[in-house]
Structure 1
Amino acid sequence: MTRFANSCLYGAASLIALSVTSPVVAQSVSPGESASDGQIAPEDRVIVVTAQKREQDLTEVPSSITVLDGEALENIGAVNFEDYAKYIPGLGSSSQGGPGQRQLILRGVNAGDDPASTVGVYVDEAPVGSSTSLATGGRLGFELVPFDIERIEVLRGPQGTIYGASTLGGLLKYVTRAPDVDAFEGRVEADIFAVDGGDLNYGVKGAVNVPIAGVAGLRFTGFYAEDGGFVDNVFTGRDNINSNQRYGGRAQLLIEPGPNISLRAAALYQRTEQDDSALVRYDFATGNPVYGELENDRTVAAELTQDFQQYSLTADFDFGFATLTSVSAYSELETPAIGDATASFGAPFGSTAVALLREAETEKFVQELRLTSASRDEGMPLEWQVGLFYTEEDSRNDQVLTVRDGPFVPLNPTAVVELPTSYEEFAVFANTTLFFGERVSLNLGLRIAENEQFFSQSTSGPAVGLPPGVVSTVTNESNDDSATYVVAPSWQITEDVTLYARAASGYRPGGPNAILPNPANPGESLVPLTFDPDTLWNYEAGIKGNFGRSGTFGVAAFRIDWDDIQIIQIVNGATFRGNGESARSEGVEAEVAFEPLDGLTLGGNVVYTNAVLTDDTSLVVGGQDGDRLPLVPKWTATSFADYTFPLSGDVFGNVGATISYAGDRESGFPASLANPSFTLDDYLTVDLRASVNFGALRVAAFAKNLTNEIPQLGATNVGGRLDVAVGRPRSFGLLVGADF
């Protein structure tokens, strides 16, 4: 049994995969838009973003960006990721059945069950999560509860020059509301949703801002949400097993002791507790549920807890010609989870219930210093930025295998694998925008980075062939460096319309591998000691701007060439990180919003993405030239309509509807020997909403997924067992909010 023990535990751990404004695209939602009249004054149409780490008008940034502001999030009743993701062209994800288990995808840059992120996540000025695949950061994405948010910015295409590694596909940035040094204000909100065939969902949230002597402000935000389950377990007889709770809060202090100095300190805590996952048992041969469309028969509940805390200090010093910004941040992301490993280990252990406990944790320190020139509007002949970036990360990915019945129970834990790692990176970056006359500009960017990684692997237990009390430990390390670039010319055809092109490169660090000793020669490893970085180039051209009184639009065509793709590979049943060959993703993204009548806003987005391999992978991975990249639909589209109208005095009503479509996707590669692909069905959802604003009081009603589709969001097919992650069925809800 030694060969089985040495080769399978780590593989299973990876393959089991713990496991009354327009609601739109924010290109139509201006920070200056008034909910009282449903119109946008021309002078208020400027949409400010910080995509290039300076405040800019969205139309001036030569890149494909979508923004959702806080008012839009409130209007659509957004309580989780799925509620707002449909409004962002090209933003997709793979779910393993609950919050805290999401893999983000932009522009088709995805190679399957990838433990390393291809989309970066920021909260304000600081990155979140692991930079390396060894801590499985790609599978355990952090999702900030969307309350008291200034805006969500999504940048499509690689953002390596400004935001660094692991932003191959783009960036998701949460911008929280900063304290106000002048006004006392606050908001409370409560919502309740009834889910078809499931338990109630409900939540309460609140925020308050307290000014201090006109030079400082305190802002406190708190939230609690209970999401009732809707999946039943036919084995245990329990109904609605996949409930979860999310709670936490933020505290921020802003000090402005003078006109040229700003200090902002912030603390954030968010906890997610999941009782079980939203997985449904399917039959691979027929493509149908084994028991019912919302039923499974797992013998081990997939419990998960995710704790995230972040502490940051951002200081700005304005020298007139330029602003010096210092960002210091420390965060911890801890995700202990239990997976059902029965399909992989039940038969060898003679057990009907085998649990895999995984404890993933990343402690991350970030320090950034950057000097940003004043803008062209302030008389500068060119705009520039230079900066230094440093991060130090300590992670662990511990795994414990236990059997809950059968002859091996006295030997528990049957296997223990401890995988501590460290990652250290230092980078310098610079970008500049050159102006040629009033309307033509050229943006240039460069980032040079180097990293060092250390990896340790300790194993013990009878399942890995070791007697009691004996621990086997091996270590490994790696280092590499990178350079990423961007070249982006733009032409402001008119004051409201900009044509641009962009060529940008992206980079994801390589690293050391888990070590698999060769039984025939213990001094050798059956897998490569390290895996290489993967890189890509993105080429795009686009046009965006404003039209009419309040119309906005954006169209972009892109092509991405991806090389040395990091792909999970398998030797003797054990997974390791390897490099595949190449892939290509190309497509078109379009979005529009306009107001044909006073108070009526129409709009939507449509995205076509053709993401395929351009070379064969290994036989075990099973990818062949021309295969679609996993979890990437060829077509997605969303359309919406919202109408705001006066009722009496300062009372206004709003009604709206959204229709959203996602095409079919492959869960993996069809010829894979380890995880054969399953085709996830396309789906169409319809949402309705209505609200009444009584001055500071708002009452809203929602119908989400009115046609009661059961969205298929991901799948694992391991050990002959196919489980499909599903989204929330039809729900009806009420929300009451009040400002003070």
Structure 2
Amino acid sequence: MRSHRWSTGRSFATTASVAAAVLTTLGVSVCMADAWAQADADASAAPVSADTAPAALADNGANAAAADATTPASQTEAASSGASGQIAEVIVTATKRRKNLRDIPASIASIPGDELEQRNAQTAQDIVKLVPGVNYTEAPDSPPRITVRGISAQPATSFTTGVMFGDVSFTDEYVPLVALDPNPFDLQSVDVLKGPQGTLFGASGFNGAIRYVPKAPEFGVWRIKYFGEYTDLSDGGLKPTYGGAVNAPIGEDLALRVTGFHRDSPGYVDNLRTGKNDANEVTQDGVRGILGWQPSDPFMARLTYAWQGTQIDDASTTDNGDGNLSSNVRPRSSPQQNRYQLADLNLAYDFGGARLVSESSYVYKKLDNYFDASRTLLGGALPLLAQVYAAHSDTYAQELRLVSPDDKNAAWQWVTGAFWSRQKVYDRLDITLGDPSVPVDVLLPVLDALLPGLGGLAGPDGQLDAVSTVSDVTVEEKAIFGEVTRRLWTDLELTLGGRYYWTNSGGSNTLGGAITLATTGSPTSVTQAEIHEQGFNPKASLLWHLTPDVLAYTTAAKGFRVGGVQAGATLPPSPPPPATFKSDTIWNYEAGLRTQWFDRKLHADIAGFYERWHHPQYLQPDSTGLLSFISNVGGVKSVGGEATLQALLPVPGLMLTVSAAYADTVTTEPFTASDGSEVPVGARWPFSPHWQTATTLAYAVDLSPWNLNGAVTHTYMGKATNNLAQEAPVFDYQQWDVQLSIDNERLLWLPEITLSANNLLDERGVVNHVYAGGATPYSDYTYIQPRAITVRLSGHF
């Protein structure tokens, strides 16, 4: 690991140049129209192959960051786009109906799986950076969180942005355990939905959702797909990743698609106390299988199973803000293991006038996390303190829905249904105290004679259990929902929808450990509670086709999160926390304009939004600073806008996409925190940067039979903070990514070769910063991955 001075990554000049490029592009549109006309003439004079420039561009990712991306979803559609010389349409099912993405009155981005593979995307962070208005943060003692439009979730509270695999929710409705982060290999697409999705997805889509869409099995055809790559980090090691997928027909009406992968991600943070260089290596394995059966035209059955396991050898945090990828405050490593299993049975029958769909799913998650927190005592001089997490959850869900035929010209379009889910969560945290060289588990029985109850207080690591909290909770959600679209005249569509829900969250939270014994005289203190809530999530939107090339829309929608039994605790002299915390709600009011020009060679879109978050769930520390609890406080608003320009440029094979997002996310009501500090109106909400941009320039050359593709992407993340006190700055960085690939369309045995460089300039962007004062102040910094050079071989038959 090399020492590297942290670059703040301010890119106001770059952002200004991006804006200038947009204005220049619009300003010279007449000249471009003439050039496009000449390009069309040249194109019509020459034969167009299935891998022409626009098709290749779609796979190169020029449109990934678009708020209403129009990337082809298949090779066939890509070929059609290339032949026509137009930006291709995108059909998505994010609204539980098949619709053209540009005809949906909401902000949705759809990034094709093939493009993510070519970009060497491995994690959710690699995906969401392409979508302005969405950010990613991670911490060693909690799962990664994704934030949309500045509406960020506090640690230990459920996510404000849901995550889904197909139509199966992966969101923890009580406390976050494991974040779904599948490898993008062999995915159809990843859809990013902004704003509340409460009508169709309930509590899983509080202020947006990330939806991973797997590729479905194909009947009657064999397909084999593979890849292998090596990644070299500038401040780490060299590691391989590989995987394969097989589509196998079984007779005429049965097909199986199986995908598997293995990833070794190099570490890049040195633990100076343990002597381990590049300590935070990641090993990940996963498999997905989808069995499709269609014995008749109207009936379809699909059974899906997915498993993934991840091992992280040590924490990715550093102890400095200088960009040095090292830590000198953790005498022990902080490993983490998590895994999940998902099973889903989808049955559908088409009656002609409507399609009945049954979705039955099961999700299991397990987390084991050991975090050395010794830096809070004596600056980490001795291995004295650790946080030991152990948690698992089981979630069963059932949905029945009736959907109208996929006819965009129909006078009526609708979807209605009923939903039920039951999630059982067991979550345990032990804060253990002691040096591993001292046999505390042997001494405790002896000390039990002095203080009865002390003998049973050995933690999972054999040390003294200073504090422990155990939550055993069940969350149940029931709902009926519906959404109907009525075409008014030819150019106007009105959509009304709603979801009426009932939630029940109940169970116990047990506080234990030596401090509890010393302050209360009892080794445990149990809180049992149950909270029942119900409500209605309405939605209304109006879509107006002003001309065949200009569309305007406005939308109002509401989202909610489930309340529950108090997941935290306090110690004397702090007062007891509330036994429960309540659900919180959010309203989004949005309006947008979408335009296309020059026979669909240019898209220019803009949208504005106003979001109001009522009584957000907020994590507060107790007066001792050792424990924390969840309460509902004040309110938050987010006001901003998003803009996208996407163009097939007059130079054959060249595509440009420029996207930008602005959000001002602040508190709307003052409140007094548990430590006595005052949070005023207008305080910036954590993890809410004002500006984000993403720009991609992609170029494809057809040198038949060879195809050469390249792309350059620039992303910028504005400055934010990690807390309401504005003490811990995060983000404020830019990143450059470059990809270059070559393949031969005639030699199928010859793999496509891709060379990519992510974070080309080796920036030290901060994605999390934890600050604490007191007798032993400290700051933990988590940086983005340093420059990664990857060589990838891939192919298909």
Pair in the same fold by TM > 0.5: yes
Amino acid at match of 1:659: H
1:586 is the counterpart of 2:628: no
Paired with 1:298 and 1:519, the residues of 2 have a C-alpha distance of: 29
For residues 283-339 of structure 1, the C-alpha deviation after alignment (integer angstroms, 9 at most, x for no partner) is xxxx546xx344443123221111010001001110111100000000111111112
1:538 is the counterpart of 2:588: yes
Q: Contact 1:28/1:550 (CA < 8 Å) preserved in 2?
A: no
Residue of structure 1 aligned with 2:210, choices 167, 172, 189? 172
Q: Contact 2:315/2:335 (CA < 8 Å) preserved in 1?
A: yes
**Counterpart of 2:494 in 1: which secondary structure?**
strand
Residue of structure 2 aligned with 1:276, choices 299, 314, 322? 314
Mark the CA change 1:389 to 1:181 in structure 2 (over 3 Å): closer, same or farther.
same
Paired with 1:577 and 1:505, the residues of 2 have a C-alpha distance of: 22
Kindly state the Cα deviation for residue 469 of structure 1 after the two structures are TM-superposed.
10
Amino acid at match of 1:660: T
Pairing of 1:130-169 with structure 2 (within 5 A): 130-132=172-174, 135-137=175-177, 140-169=178-207
Q: Contact 1:461/1:468 (CA < 8 Å) preserved in 2?
A: no
**Counterpart of 2:294 in 1: which secondary structure?**
strand
Q: Contact 2:135/2:147 (CA < 8 Å) preserved in 1?
A: yes
Paired with 1:350 and 1:690, the residues of 2 have a C-alpha distance of: 47
Residue of structure 1 aligned with 2:126, choices 83, 103, 106? 83
**Counterpart of 2:126 in 1: which secondary structure?**
helix
Paired with 2:140 and 2:60, the residues of 1 have a C-alpha distance of: 30
Q: How many residues are treated as equivalent by the alignment?
A: 699
Amino acid at match of 1:127: S
Residue of structure 1 aligned with 2:102, choices 39, 49, 59? 59
Counterpart in the other structure of 2:19: none
Counterpart in the other structure of 1:701: 755
Amino acid at match of 1:387: G
Counterpart in the other structure of 1:389: 419
Structure 1: stretches of 5+ with no match in the other structure: 1-19, 672-676
Paired with 2:423 and 2:504, the residues of 1 have a C-alpha distance of: 11
Q: Which of 1 and 2 has greater Rg?
A: 2
Paired with 2:287 and 2:342, the residues of 1 have a C-alpha distance of: 11
Kindly state the Cα deviation for residue 638 of structure 1 after the two structures are TM-superposed.
1.1
Paired with 1:381 and 1:222, the residues of 2 have a C-alpha distance of: 44
Report the more deviating stretch, 698-707 or 467-476. Answer: 467-476
**Counterpart of 2:205 in 1: which secondary structure?**
coil
Residue of structure 1 aligned with 2:702, choices 629, 646, 658? 646
Kindly state the Cα deviation for residue 360 of structure 1 after the two structures are TM-superposed.
2.0
Kindly state the Cα deviation for residue 129 of structure 1 after the two structures are TM-superposed.
3.0
Kindly state the Cα deviation for residue 95 of structure 1 after the two structures are TM-superposed.
1.0
Pairing of 1:162-561 with structure 2 (within 5 A): 162-282=200-320, 288=322, 292-344=324-376, 346=377, 352-377=383-408, 380-405=410-435, 409=440, 410-411=443-444, 412-413=458-459, 414-415=464-465, 416-465=468-517, 471-514=524-567, 526-548=576-598, 549-561=600-612
Mark the CA change 1:60 to 1:96 in structure 2 (over 3 Å): closer, same or farther.
same
Counterpart in the other structure of 1:611: 665
Kindly state the Cα deviation for residue 384 of structure 1 after the two structures are TM-superposed.
1.3
Amino acid at match of 1:551: L
1:570 is the counterpart of 2:621: yes
1:725 is the counterpart of 2:779: no
Kindly state the Cα deviation for residue 401 of structure 1 after the two structures are TM-superposed.
3.0
Kindly state the Cα deviation for residue 75 of structure 1 after the two structures are TM-superposed.
2.5
Q: Contact 1:432/1:443 (CA < 8 Å) preserved in 2?
A: yes
Kindly state the Cα deviation for residue 274 of structure 1 after the two structures are TM-superposed.
0.3
Kindly state the Cα deviation for residue 276 of structure 1 after the two structures are TM-superposed.
0.8
**Counterpart of 1:454 in 2: which secondary structure?**
strand
Paired with 1:511 and 1:33, the residues of 2 have a C-alpha distance of: 47
Kindly state the Cα deviation for residue 230 of structure 1 after the two structures are TM-superposed.
0.6
Counterpart in the other structure of 1:734: 791
**Counterpart of 2:216 in 1: which secondary structure?**
coil
Paired with 1:299 and 1:468, the residues of 2 have a C-alpha distance of: 33
Kindly state the Cα deviation for residue 612 of structure 1 after the two structures are TM-superposed.
0.8
TM-score using structure 1 length = 0.90
Amino acid at match of 1:505: K
Kindly state the Cα deviation for residue 727 of structure 1 after the two structures are TM-superposed.
1.0
Q: Contact 2:527/2:579 (CA < 8 Å) preserved in 1?
A: no
Paired with 1:322 and 1:36, the residues of 2 have a C-alpha distance of: 32
For residues 654-677 of structure 1, the C-alpha deviation after alignment (integer angstroms, 9 at most, x for no partner) is 122111111111011127xxxxx3
Paired with 1:528 and 1:242, the residues of 2 have a C-alpha distance of: 38
Paired with 1:44 and 1:217, the residues of 2 have a C-alpha distance of: 32
Q: Contact 2:162/2:169 (CA < 8 Å) preserved in 1?
A: yes
Amino acid at match of 2:779: L
Mark the CA change 1:550 to 1:217 in structure 2 (over 3 Å): closer, same or farther.
farther
Pairing of 1:630-645 with structure 2 (within 5 A): 630-645=686-701
Counterpart in the other structure of 2:165: 123
**Counterpart of 1:144 in 2: which secondary structure?**
coil
Q: Contact 2:517/2:523 (CA < 8 Å) preserved in 1?
A: no
Mark the CA change 1:683 to 1:294 in structure 2 (over 3 Å): closer, same or farther.
farther
Kindly state the Cα deviation for residue 541 of structure 1 after the two structures are TM-superposed.
0.5
Kindly state the Cα deviation for residue 71 of structure 1 after the two structures are TM-superposed.
2.0
Kindly state the Cα deviation for residue 426 of structure 1 after the two structures are TM-superposed.
0.4
Backbone CA RMSD of aligned residues: 2.5
Q: Contact 1:59/1:545 (CA < 8 Å) preserved in 2?
A: no
Mark the CA change 1:709 to 1:516 in structure 2 (over 3 Å): closer, same or farther.
closer
**Counterpart of 2:671 in 1: which secondary structure?**
coil
**Counterpart of 1:153 in 2: which secondary structure?**
strand
Amino acid at match of 1:704: N
**Counterpart of 2:102 in 1: which secondary structure?**
helix
Mark the CA change 1:516 to 1:200 in structure 2 (over 3 Å): closer, same or farther.
closer
Paired with 1:236 and 1:102, the residues of 2 have a C-alpha distance of: 25
**Counterpart of 1:257 in 2: which secondary structure?**
coil
Mark the CA change 1:519 to 1:663 in structure 2 (over 3 Å): closer, same or farther.
closer
Amino acid at match of 1:85: V
Kindly state the Cα deviation for residue 689 of structure 1 after the two structures are TM-superposed.
1.2
Report the more deviating stretch, 298-307 or 204-213. Answer: 298-307
Amino acid at match of 2:347: A
Amino acid at match of 2:133: G
For residues 91-119 of structure 1, the C-alpha deviation after alignment (integer angstroms, 9 at most, x for no partner) is 11211159x82111001112543521101
Identical positions, percent = 26
Mark the CA change 1:44 to 1:656 in structure 2 (over 3 Å): closer, same or farther.
closer
For residues 488-515 of structure 1, the C-alpha deviation after alignment (integer angstroms, 9 at most, x for no partner) is 0001123343210001111111222147
Paired with 2:325 and 2:190, the residues of 1 have a C-alpha distance of: 33
Counterpart in the other structure of 1:70: 113
Mark the CA change 1:683 to 1:470 in structure 2 (over 3 Å): closer, same or farther.
closer
Paired with 2:266 and 2:521, the residues of 1 have a C-alpha distance of: 43
Residue of structure 2 aligned with 1:682, choices 722, 728, 732? 732
Kindly state the Cα deviation for residue 681 of structure 1 after the two structures are TM-superposed.
4.7
Paired with 2:236 and 2:666, the residues of 1 have a C-alpha distance of: 38
Kindly state the Cα deviation for residue 32 of structure 1 after the two structures are TM-superposed.
4.8
1:104 is the counterpart of 2:146: yes
Kindly state the Cα deviation for residue 173 of structure 1 after the two structures are TM-superposed.
0.3
**Counterpart of 2:218 in 1: which secondary structure?**
coil
Amino acid at match of 1:555: I
Paired with 2:355 and 2:86, the residues of 1 have a C-alpha distance of: 26
Counterpart in the other structure of 1:10: none
TM-score using structure 2 length = 0.83
Report the more deviating stretch, 586-595 or 173-182. Answer: 586-595
Paired with 1:87 and 1:701, the residues of 2 have a C-alpha distance of: 19
Q: Contact 1:355/1:402 (CA < 8 Å) preserved in 2?
A: yes
Counterpart in the other structure of 1:667: 722
**Counterpart of 2:116 in 1: which secondary structure?**
helix
Counterpart in the other structure of 1:12: none
